[in-house]
Structure 1
Amino acid sequence: MTVFARFSIIYLIFAIVTTVVLYGFSFGHLMEIGFLATDLIKYMGAGPWVMWLFPVLVYYVVRHPARISEALYGFIATIALVCAYTLMKGTIPVLVPYWADGMFAQWDLALHGGVAPWELSHRLSAYIDTDGAVRTYSGFWGAFAFSFPAFLALSDQDPARKVRFLALYALAWILIGNVIATAFSSVGPIYIDRYYGGDAFAPMIASLKDLTFPGTSVDALQTRLWEALVTDDGMNTGGAAISAFPSMHVAIAAVWAVYMTERSWFFAPVAIAFAVTILFLSVYTGWHYAVDGYASIVCVLVLYAALRQLFKK
């Protein structure tokens, strides 16, 4: 876990240097980075994820108090890693201007019989509570996304498995969320018409309004990201950055699904169901093309297989 923490801090330093090189050094820039880290600490220290991890923490404090220090390293490493990921995500429209949305929209239609996946998902709206969908996609996902390293530290006694999955977790954020996302720079269905012009996704926007998404935390974040894009090309170190492909929500949910499948077939169906739910909601809320989630799952599985082979040697 200490190696993971060092790596995450090094990546954070790299991200800070990269953004300074791209945008120049300023006190305001460094202040934004500090605010980003503070917001992450607040969320991770008092956010919804604590509600589910707290009983686990108490259990291991009693049973294995020596693991608490390792969990603390995991907590610190996660803050550094997610900060770095967010900073690098903000550079995407500067390094590679958005270009891939038309291609992904066409792929979505081709893979779903000529019907847009958002339309297929909205056909189920009568069975879905909007507040519950938002809470799951934002709060519950964050609970699992940010607690994974600490959970490994507290609960897993297999050193080799911990190393593999910490590597998978880090690669998901960096390779999938930064590198591949930059190469296939895209804004996603919710922004495509506003960014490129046209009205191809106007029916989706109207449908989201009918589903009462305006005013939810998802809608508020979508609005804030768009405002950041139009005011400063998306370069806002406070976490305001747009990137659709691949989906990090699905990628991290897939990491959990793979981990639980390897560790316990009893919990595997629950973890897989959660990943499928996040995939569905990523389309349902307008954030992502379906192919964003499909690509994330494929990437996670390929990385998982590669790491299993690597650590056999």
Structure 2
Amino acid sequence: MRALTDLLRTYWAQIPLYIYVALCGALCLALWNAKGVAYDHEQTVVSFTMLYVFAIVMFFIDIVWRLYRDRPDHPLRWAKERYLSAHRARFLLRGIPAITICVVLIPLFSSLKSMIPLFAVYDWDATFIAADRALFFGRDAWQVLQPVLGYPAVTAALAVNYQVWFLLLYPGCMFFAFSETVSPDLQRRFFLSYALAWTVIGAFMATSLASVGPAFAEPLTGIDIFRDQMAYLRAADAQIPIITLTVQDMLLNSFHDDYRGLGSGITAMPSMHIAIATLFWLAMREVGPRAGRAFFWFMVVIWVSSVHLAYHYAVDGLVSFIAVMAIWKGVPFVFAWWDTVPAPHAVRLQPAS
């Protein structure tokens, strides 16, 4: 009974997250109906399938590593105590609503991202190009980075790391949903911030500031000033595969085909790569100093890579960084208010120190 009470207390403490996501879902349905767009539910199935695959892989990695490290005398008994105990079950149940929200959000965002042309015209690129040039004394940001990063091997490595970011969406969120090192308060702050990042930054701001970024500027808007950058990337790809070019070609084809599935849609401002990387840095600082430092540098590399690989202008990352910082600072006030709401049989969660 005590375990059930603790679990219900955790769910009650997360209710602002559930309410917000439900309202966003209702708004999405209204927008789709208004534009006559049918949501492809198979994309949600694909997203859940990816979650299950990552969960299986992470389980085997965890058990192999711990068997190697701990070398228990009775492996089966050890595995039962670690993975099938009531204590472990409570942590799994605690995180199921939050991870479900994350898995559903990703295909929803992809669909909304691909719908931006239905609501706005991509007419902000010239403004962001001018902003970059103001920051870098008349030069484009990629030109400033080119003397340091303009080598095919470096570009290829950055392109691979840029795709590694994708792991934040599934294994990364699973860590915050199920890890024993994540407190209930950190968990709920992370997931509400995550939902706000995708909806406010990735949907509302992306539509309000509709832009395509350097890689798509010429084919979609006629702005041809990034020809030299794309020529370098194509030349580098001829020596060492630059996997982001394949992704960019896929995105462009999906745009022309009006495909609205998982991973589709083109938008530059703000950068969701930097927004999510920033959120993980902020949250990981509360997990441990080493993790915080590692994710800080990961965020920096993603930011630099987004410019070098022609996905983003430098100001895209700057706006994302500021927006996520504001969300992260504001979310605790939401839960501080919610914790004053009387809850039957629930004890108020204490904020993380």
- Number of aligned residue pairs: give it: 304
The one of 115, 119, 133 aligned to 1:91: 115
- Partner of residue 316, structure 2: 292
Distance 2:106 2:23 in 1: 12
RMSD over aligned CA atoms reads 3.0
> What is residue 257 of structure 1 aligned with on the other side?
281
Residue 224 of structure 1 aligns with an amino acid whose one-letter code is: M
1:110 equivalent to 2:134? Answer yes
Is 2:282 the partner of 1:228? no
* Aligned match of 2:205: 180
Residue of 8, 18, 23 corresponding to 2:31: 18
Please name the residue that 2:5 is paired with.
Answer: none
Equivalent in the alignment of 1:46: 53
1:9 shift after superposition? 5.8
Matched, 1:37 2:44: yes
Comparing 250-259 with 194-203, which one deviates more in the overlay?
194-203
Q: Which moved more, 1:270-279 or 1:5-14?
A: 5-14
- The Cα of 1:93 is off from its aligned counterpart by 1.1
Equivalent residue in structure 1 for 2:165, among 125, 134, 141: 141
Is the CA contact (8 Å cut-off) linking 1:74 and 1:153 kept in structure 2?
A: yes
- Is residue 101 from structure 1 mapped to residue 125 from structure 2 by the alignment? yes
Q: Quick one: which amino acid aligns to residue 32 of structure 2?
A: T
In structure 2, the residue matched to 1:61 is 83
Equivalent pair of 1:145/1:253 in contact (CA under 8 Å) = no
Q: Which runs of 5+ in 1 are unaligned?
A: none
1:144 Cα deviation after fit: 1.6
Query: Would the aligned equivalents of 1:9 and 1:77 in 2 still touch at CA under 8 Å?
Result: no
Letter of the structure 2 residue corresponding to residue 277 of structure 1: V
How far apart are the structure 2 equivalents of 1:151 and 1:54? 14
Which residue pairs with 1:192 in the alignment?
217
Inter-partner Cα distance in structure 2 for 1:48 and 1:193: 40
Whether the 8 Å CA contact 2:95–2:178 is kept in 1: the answer is yes
How does the TM-score come out when normalised to structure 2?
Answer: 0.76
| Cα distance in 1 for residues equivalent to 2:55 and 2:121 | 35
The sequence identity of aligned pairs, in percent, is 24
Distance in 1 of aligned mates of 2:314 and 2:260? 27
Q: State the alpha-carbon separation in 1 of the partners of residues 182 and 266 from structure 2.
A: 38
String of CA shifts for 1:208-267, please: whole Å, max 9, x gaps.
1122179644222211222232343xx623432111100000000000101122332232
Secondary structure (helix, strand or coil) at the match of 1:211 reads helix
**Which one of the candidate residues 245, 248, 259 is aligned to 1:219?**
245
TM-score by length of 1: 0.85
Deviates more, 1:54-63 or 1:113-122: 54-63
Deviation at 1:310, TM superposition (A): 3.8
The more displaced of 105-114 and 154-163 is 154-163
**Contact 2:211/2:268, CA 8 A, preserved across alignment:** yes
Cα displacement (A) at 1:198: 4.1
Instruction: Tell me the distance in 1 between the aligned counterparts of 2:23 and 2:293.
Output: 36
Larger Rg: 2
Task: Tell me how far apart the structure 2 counterparts of residues 204 and 151 of structure 1 sit (CA, whole Å).
Answer: 37
Alpha-carbon displacement from aligned partner over 1:70-121 (angstroms, at most 9, x marks no partner):
3333332211111221121122111011110000011111111222111223
Runs of 5+ consecutive residues of structure 2 not aligned to the other structure: 1-9, 67-81, 338-353
- Shifted more, 102-111 versus 159-168: the winner is 159-168
- What SS does the aligned partner of 1:267 have? helix
Q: Using the alignment, how far apart are the partners of 1:52 and 1:172 within structure 2? A: 28
- Residue of structure 2 in register with 1:78 after alignment: 102
